[in-house]
Structure 1
Amino acid sequence: MSTLLLIDDDPALLEVVSLALEDAGHQVLCAKDGLEALRMHEQSRPGLIVSDVNMPRLDGFALCRKLRQAGDFTPLILLTSRDNEVDEALGLELGADDYISKPFSTRILVARITALLRRDELRRGGQARQSRFVQGALELDPERLECRYGGLLVQVTVTEFRLIEALARRPGVLFTRDQLLRQIRDDDCIVVDRIIDTYVRRLRRKLEAVSPSFSEIETVIGMGYRWRDG
């Protein structure tokens, strides 16, 4: 059983969604805004966070930013009532692992949660027991979810770790956006494949922050991405 933190200022939505998540076998903690959620997160350390974007006092974007800046990479899904690609991209830029636009099916939410928890579980055990992977200046430690470039630590989310691992393990191989999404998400939910561009852009920025000359992730216009071979 996983403990989830569900955050929304709509009491009716909290009740409906929390019941659905409990029926799926999870323990659910509920908060009505970001400030309350931060306190509950500090006390309970949930395995995953589901947060609305539009909330009083501290909204979902600000909550995500605070957690990531503090080095906390608990898997996080943002809920947005504005079906707007800019909102989705902003959430991912700030470090969210996924997003769902309202209104949404609780079945879809449960599927996304299951996929994210599976990724996190795999990197903690099972596949996480793999030895450290090295590709040039890049070092990946699945057990610790650690990414280093040139010996310097790069703070990444679970999704970002899976993305860079997928690319780096097969240098020179071209991956389409759809292929990368299938490798990093582990679910059957329909998502616009262009969202992979946001994941890649965010990952590049983090790597460039520790190595300004970083250029290992190549864009093949109209096709997708690959890790530079040699």
Structure 2
Amino acid sequence: MDSKKTVLIVEDEKNIVDILRFNLQREGFGTLEAYDGEAGLELARSARPDLILLDVMLPKMIGFDVCKALRESGDNVPVIILTAREEEADKVLGLEIGADDYITKPFSMRELIARVRANIRRTAMVASASQEDATPVAGDLTIHTDSCQVYRRGRHIDLTQREYELLTFLASHPNKVYSRVDLMEQVWNYGYVGDDARTVDVTVRRLREKIEDNPATPVYILTRRGLGYYFSTAQ
């Protein structure tokens, strides 16, 4: 990394904060800490960290509400949700309100550091790509890479950062089928997958709900049964 990146840890268990701080600083990151949701949101807005590790069950304001508040104000800082709960609904909710990733406690520090690096690297890649002026067009869908905005029939479509990245990746390789493992590696920048491939399905579903007239019969993001997803140019 060219300059030190800062990670904001929002977690009410001091022992977990201490462990995260020690390991992140050992890996060259700067750290900030908050022990409740309200303080975390205030610090996120004032300090502008490069990434947030955000616990779900927090005093004063739960993690989901912190993430939602950031996204509603237009802040696209990468957010990794930390949750001790295994329920699928929690993971889906985190993604739907704009979190970039989730990791379930207990987690290995090696895995967490890898995810932190991947999400920060992805953000840097998007910032670099946003300097390009190319505007890929398919059917009545227009992607403005200079402003990272998507329009359909001239109407702006509000996508999360991850939804935008998935769409632009698939659209830049039209009609090429990518498995969930491929997409986790190419879009999420993960060299391992496991159960997290479910994240791809959730993101595709959310993307279809926003860009398709009928998400049940999509024309842009299509499924090749047993193989994966692809962006169709045959509208």
Shared fold (TM-score, shorter chain, > 0.5): yes
Q: Is contact 1:174–1:226 with CA below 8 Å preserved after alignment? A: yes
The more displaced of 131-140 and 105-114 is 131-140
Residue among 106, 130, 142 paired with 2:132 = 130
Identity %: 34
| 1:148 corresponds to | 151
Q: Within 5 Å, which residues of 2 pair with 1:101-120?
A: 101-120=104-123
Two-structure CA RMSD over aligned residues (Å): 2.0
| Cα drift, residue 148 of structure 1 | 2.8
Q: Separation in 1 of the partners of 2:109 and 2:144?
A: 34
Q: Distance in 2 between matches of 1:117 and 1:142?
A: 19
Which region of structure 1 is more displaced relative to structure 2, 55-64 or 92-101? 55-64
Structure 1: gaps spanning 5 or more residues? none
Q: Does 1:223 align with 2:221?
A: no
- Consecutive aligned runs of 4 or more in structure 1 exceeding 4 Å deviation: 211-214
The more displaced of 145-154 and 46-55 is 145-154
| Alignment-mate amino acid for residue 131 of structure 1 | D
Q: 1:155 & 1:191 partners in 2: Cα distance? A: 29
**1:144 to 1:3, Cα distance in 2 relative to 1, 3 A:** farther
Gap change, CA 1:224 and 1:71, over 3 Å in 2 = same
SS at match of 1:5: strand
* Aligned counterpart, 2:19: 16
Displacement after TM superposition at 1:65 (Å)? 1.5
Structure 1: which amino acid aligns with 2:150?
A: C
**d(CA) in 2 for partners of 1:199, 1:61:** 17
Q: Alignment partner for residue 206 of structure 1, among 192, 195, 210?
A: 210
Residue among 156, 171, 179 paired with 2:174: 171
How many aligned residue pairs are there? Answer: 227
Unaligned segments of structure 2, at least 5 residues: none
Describe the SS at the equivalent of 2:150. strand
Is 1:163–1:184's contact at 8 Å kept on the other side of the alignment? yes
- Per the normalisation by structure 2, the TM-score is 0.88
In the alignment, residue 135 of structure 1 is paired with which amino acid? V
Distance 2:30 2:169 in 1: 32
TM-score, normalised with respect to structure 1: 0.89
CA distance in 1, matches of 2:124, 2:103: 22
| Residue of structure 2 equivalent to 1:71 | 74
